[in-house]
Structure 1
Amino acid sequence: MPPVLRWSAKFGIFLKLSPFLLFIIFLLPPRISAAIGQQCKRVGAEELVDEEGCELLIVRVNRCSGYCFSLTYPSPRSGKTAGVSKCCRMTDTEWVNAELTCIDGPKQIRIPSALQCECFDCPIN
Structure 2
Amino acid sequence: MDTRFPDLRRFGGADAFLQVCKPRTVLDIFTGKWAGLVMGALLDGPRRFNELRRMLDGITQKMLSQTLRTLERDGLVTRTVYPTIPPRVDYELTALGHSAVDVLRAIGVWAGEHADQVLAAREAYDERAKEPVEMVSRA
Normalising by structure 1, report the TM-score: 0.27
**Structure of greater Rg:** 1
Q: Whose RCO is larger (CA < 8 A, sep 6+)?
A: 1
More strand by share: 1
More helix by share: 2
Normalising by structure 2, report the TM-score: 0.25
